[in-house]
Amino acid sequence: MLPGPSRSVMAAKPQKPQANPGTEHREKRGPDAPPPIKDSQFARQAPANLDRVSLPDVKVDVEELTRLYRQMQLIRRVEEEAARAYAQGKIGGFLHLYIGQESVGVGAAAALRPGDYVVGTYRDHGLAIAKGMSARAVMAELFGKVTGCSKGLGGSMHLFDAPNGMLGGYGIVGGHIPLAVGCAFASKYRGDGRVTLCFFGEGSVTIGSFHEALSLAALWRLPIVFVCENNEYAMGTPLARTLSVEDVSQKALAYGMPRDRFFARDVLEVKQRLGEAIERARETSEPTLVEVRTYRFRGHSMSDPGKYRTSDEIEAQKKLDPMLRARAQLELLGKTAEQLSALDAEIEEEVQDAVRFAAESEEPGPELLEPMTYVGPFAR
């Protein structure tokens, strides 16, 4: 469980993160326990100021915070509309919502430079939008239309946007992590100064390709940041039944890789903390594993009955919604209610426009299939 919520905007109650239920025993250290592993110089404990709800230490630029809030809100509204369209049968297959986790993708993308790469999982709508994809291109893809980012051929799990450096959402858990390392390899090879950000869930940390990817990235000192979005569940499996340790970032230790670990409550803090890792990758070509603790408010996908967690747990988490926090911060910084609702209205218009666009667009035809399979003549 994450620490309990702080309710007032001004309250600043430092709390320590607690272990996941069922993992406490693993944290105890008896006299016979082996000495703790010495961390790499960059490793950090989760900060004590996790629940600080006033403004973060970083210098706050109102315009920037407004932009990030807008992105988060856009992602959420796009997904809420997508969920509705799914219920109406306009979207099919799997639909994995990012609702609750928006601060991670948005904070991360804000720390990148144009030209940097991101690679993600099937839970990819937020990352795509944060990296610059239009709501229209996302929604049309979900509707399976030819105007979608992947021409309606990829669907929700496979959002790609080459001009914006979004190298896709992938459906095989962990399968994209080596691929992301490959992007970083190419950057180092060419000396192009780009950094790659690779996103994956905590459930992916048990798959072999995660370990091979980290091992090689560390060995070859590649400019990549591994962003583990620890939302506590892999489908219905809580972290305690995925890993034998509670601290996912520990996986970096054996690879001699710097690590960081923090809660994604504050989008600016996400930006700042990932920014440090990104700069390290850019300046010294050193990879970092960052565990960002977050929470998804919805089921794993649309078909998940979600019986593995209580509504109390979800409600408690919703009180910590990074979106509410960003909005409260904007108020604190002097944004008026009118200004904020004008912003919301603008977002609403963008979302409704995307839905209309998706609904009215054409579907792809079979003539697309062969040219989209091979470059050049079809290999029969």
Partner 1 sequence: MREISYRVALREAIAEEMERDDRVMIMGEEVGRYQGAYKVTEGLFDRFGERRVVDTPIAENGFAGIGVGAAMVGLRPIVEFMTWNFSAVAFDQILSNAAKVRQMSGGQFSCPIVFRGPNGSARQVGSQHSQSMDIFYAHVPGLKVLAPAFPRDAKGLLKAAIRDDNPICFLESETLYNLKGEVPDPSEGDLLVDIGKARVVREGADVTIVAWSRISVVAMQAAALLEKEGISAEVVDLRSLRPLDHETVLASVAKTHRAVVAHEGWPYGGVGAEVVDRIQRHAFDELDAPVLRVSGADVPMPYNAKLEQWCLPQPETIAAACKKVLYVD
Ligand X SMILES: Cc1ncc(C[n+]2csc(CCOP(=O)(O)OP(=O)(O)O)c2C)c(N)n1
C-beta separation of 121 from 169 below 8 A: yes
Question: Per CB under 8 A, does 228 bind partner 1?
Answer: no
C-beta separation of 186 from 167 below 8 A: no
Among 106, 127, 99, CA closest to 64: 106
The single residue among 103, 164, 231, 285 that binds Mg ion, judged by CB under 5 A, is 231
Q: Give the nearer residue to Mg ion in terms of CB position, either 231 or 329.
A: 231
For residue 19, the tally of other CB atoms under 10 A from its CB is 17
Look up residue 3 and give its DSSP letter.
P
- CB-count burial class (<10 Å; 0-12, 13-18, 19+) for 171: middle
What distance in Å separates the CA atoms of residue 233 and residue 242, rounded to the nearest whole number?
A: 9
Question: Per CB under 5 A, does 120 bind Mg ion?
Answer: no
What does 123 bind: partner 1, Mg ion, ligand X, none (CB cut-off 5 to 8 Å by kind)? ligand X
CB of 289 to partner 1, least distance (A): 18
Q: Which stretch binds partner 1 (CB under 8 A): 7-15, 124-132, 186-194, 368-376?
A: 368-376
| Interaction pattern, residues 170-209, with partner 1; x per rule: CB under 8 A | xxxxxx---------------------------xx-xxxx
Which residues sit at the interface with ligand X, rule CB under 6 A?
121, 123, 171-173, 200-204, 231, 233-235, 300
Q: Give the nearer residue to Mg ion in terms of CB position, either 81 or 202.
A: 202
What distance in Å separates the CA atoms of residue 222 and residue 112, rounded to the nearest whole number?
A: 16
Q: Which stretch binds partner 1 (CB under 8 A): 77-85, 178-186, 228-236, 344-352?
A: 228-236
What distance in Å separates the CA atoms of residue 94 and residue 76, rounded to the nearest whole number?
A: 17
Beta-ladder partners of 169? 120
What distance in Å separates the CA atoms of residue 40 and residue 333, rounded to the nearest whole number?
A: 38
CB of 242 to Mg ion, least distance (A): 8
Q: Give the nearer residue to partner 1 in terms of CB position, either 94 or 297.
A: 94
CB of 178 to ligand X, least distance (A): 13
What angle in degrees, to the nearest 10, is found between the helix axes of 62-87 and 102-110?
140
The sheet with strand 166-170 has its strands ordered as 166-170, 117-121, 196-201, 224-230, 288-293, 259-263
C-beta separation of 323 from 102 below 8 A: yes
- CB-count burial class (<10 Å; 0-12, 13-18, 19+) for 266: buried
CB of 214 to partner 1, least distance (A): 15
What distance in Å separates the CA atoms of residue 140 and residue 90, rounded to the nearest whole number?
A: 10
What does 376 bind: Mg ion, ligand X, partner 1, none (CB cut-off 5 to 8 Å by kind)? none
Q: Give the nearer residue to ligand X in terms of CB position, either 247 or 286.
A: 247
Question: Per CB under 5 A, does 97 bind Mg ion?
Answer: no
What does 347 bind: ligand X, Mg ion, partner 1, none (CB cut-off 5 to 8 Å by kind)? none
The single residue among 152, 165, 299, 322 that binds partner 1, judged by CB under 8 A, is 152
The single residue among 45, 336, 339, 373 that binds partner 1, judged by CB under 8 A, is 373
| Interaction pattern, residues 230-259, with partner 1; x per rule: CB under 8 A | ----xxxx---xxx----------------
Residues that bind partner 1 (CB under 8 A): 92-94, 144-145, 150, 152-158, 170-175, 203-204, 206-209, 234-237, 241-243, 307-308, 363-366, 369-370, 372-373, 380
